[in-house]
Amino acid sequence: MKPLEFKIEKDLEGKLGRAGTITTPHGAIHTPAFVSVGTKATVKALTMDQVKSLGAEVVLANTYHLYLQPGDERVKKFGGLQKFMNWHGPTMTDSGGFQVFSLGAAFGKQISKVVSITDPSQLLSERSTDGEAPRLATIGADGVSFRSHLDGSLHYITPEKSIEIQHNLGADIIFAFDECTSPQEELRYQEEALERTHRWAKKSLEYHKSKDNSHYQALFGIVQGGRDEGLRKRSAEYISSLDFDGFGIGGSFAKEDMETAVKWVNEILPKEKPRHLLGIGEPEDLIMGIENGVDLFDCVAPTRNGRGGTLYTSRGKINIRNADFKEDMGPIDDECECEVCTTYSRAYICHLMRAHEMLGGTLGSMHNLYFIINLVKRLRQGIIDGNFDEVKKVFLSKYTS
């Protein structure tokens, strides 16, 4: 019995892209698809009914966060993630690998998932702060010790532990424990980290296969390797060689390197298994990923931006808090058909945001999630209809103008 089935319906001519369907024990995901991020078993500010109404098919939660609170054992006791959070569709959990990065090398610094190499000050400050910077995660021989950002308690997570937690959480698709490195690390470190990630991948897989969970939970291996072509390809080859159900492409990217990295990797990964570009979700990046053979994306951007007032529109992003919108009776985006755009005005949402009313974050998240999910759906349909380039062109010409 296989935990997951992936069927490709149509390829994107001349490119690596494809449209397909992933079938999990909890339902289907039509790919390419955007995965809503629900780190702590909640898509922030939204009820699961709302998430569903936006067209979301799958939700991704986080191992590290749920392990700390409320604890994976408790989630298991309540019947697993799906039941606990009342999401009846497919679910995924991230392994905590990203927290190795965000609470480790990136802690307290201006580095995140995507950095701009056009800003040299980041590199300088990186050098000057050296090894003195405090961090909540440090990498050991077999795993990572985390100091809880909630109460300071110390926890050691190994690949086996991450998988055990993910088994308890019970998502349909889970990820191998990996190390997401900073693009500012030297090649030598990237290589060392990659070897570690590979070792952890094997351990994650072996532990997973030793349990019955592997019959109904799919495990994705994660490709790393930073911006280096040799390492990326080596990683893609190695991770491909292991019996994973699918793959994640990880890393903190310099924006300029993302496309090449994705292409290098997807040319190597086996075509018949799904690929997930971890943590990526700006419109331009989604288009890039889809063209280059990515099937799944997850990203905090729509919900995080939505709560803060940065909203996607067909003509680019706007900050709805700006004074310009105080008396704007139009919808967020006059081309959007979401519930928010057909119901509420920019002026109203501007007011909610300025007044710090919770509904502002909810409406912003709803619109943004709909916008991104819907964009990916349109691009998917473009692949199926054979007019992907047209869909892409029409979207980008407006969005970037």
38 contacts 54 by C-beta, under 8 angstroms: no
Nearer to RNA, 242 or 385 (CB): 242
Q: In a 3-state reduction of DSSP, which class is residue 24? A: strand
Nearer to RNA, 8 or 300 (CB): 300
Q: Which of 72, 94, 245, 257 is catalytic?
A: 94
Nearer to RNA, 178 or 380 (CB): 178
Nearer to RNA, 331 or 361 (CB): 361
Alpha helical stretches, state H, 210-317: 229-241, 255-266, 283-291, 301-308
Nearer to RNA, 107 or 344 (CB): 107
Q: Which of 72, 295, 298, 333 is catalytic?
A: 298
Give residue 289's identity as a one-letter amino acid code. G
Q: In a 3-state reduction of DSSP, which class is residue 64? A: helix
Handedness of CA 266, 56, 39, 164 (dihedral sign): negative
378 contacts 391 by C-beta, under 8 angstroms: yes
Q: Is 285 a catalytic residue?
A: no
In angstroms, what is the minimal distance from the CB of 274 to RNA? 15
In angstroms, what is the minimal distance from the CB of 44 to RNA? 5
Which residues contribute to the site for RNA (CB under 7 A)?
A: 37, 39-40, 43-45, 60, 62, 64-65, 94-95, 97-99, 101-103, 107-108, 112-114, 136, 149, 175, 178, 180, 222, 248, 250-252, 255, 278-282, 285, 298-301, 303-305, 307-310, 319, 321-324, 326, 354, 356, 358, 361
Number of alpha carbons in the 13 Å side-chain half-sphere of residue 389: 4
In angstroms, what is the minimal distance from the CB of 147 to RNA? 10
In angstroms, what is the minimal distance from the CB of 324 to RNA? 6
Indicate the length of the chain as a whole number. 401
The DSSP element (H or E) to which 124 belongs, if any, is helix 120-129
The DSSP element (H or E) to which 76 belongs, if any, is helix 72-77
Q: Is 142 a catalytic residue?
A: no
81 contacts 93 by C-beta, under 8 angstroms: yes
Beta strand pairing status for 18-24 and 27-31?
Answer: antiparallel
In angstroms, what is the minimal distance from the CB of 132 to RNA? 14
- Phi/psi-derived region of residue 96, left when phi > 0, alpha when psi is between -120 and 50, beta in every other case: left
In angstroms, what is the minimal distance from the CB of 18 to RNA? 21
Q: Residue 30's beta-bridge partner residues?
A: 21
In angstroms, what is the minimal distance from the CB of 13 to RNA? 26
| Burial of residue 251, with CB atoms counted within 10 A of its CB: 0-12 exposed, 13-18 middle, 19 or more buried | buried
Nearer to RNA, 32 or 361 (CB): 361
Alpha helical stretches, state H, 149-220: 159-169, 187-209
Nearer to RNA, 6 or 101 (CB): 101
How far apart, in whole angstroms, are the C-alpha atoms of residue 38 and residue 115?
23
**DSSP character for 180?**
P
Q: Which residues are catalytic?
A: 94, 298
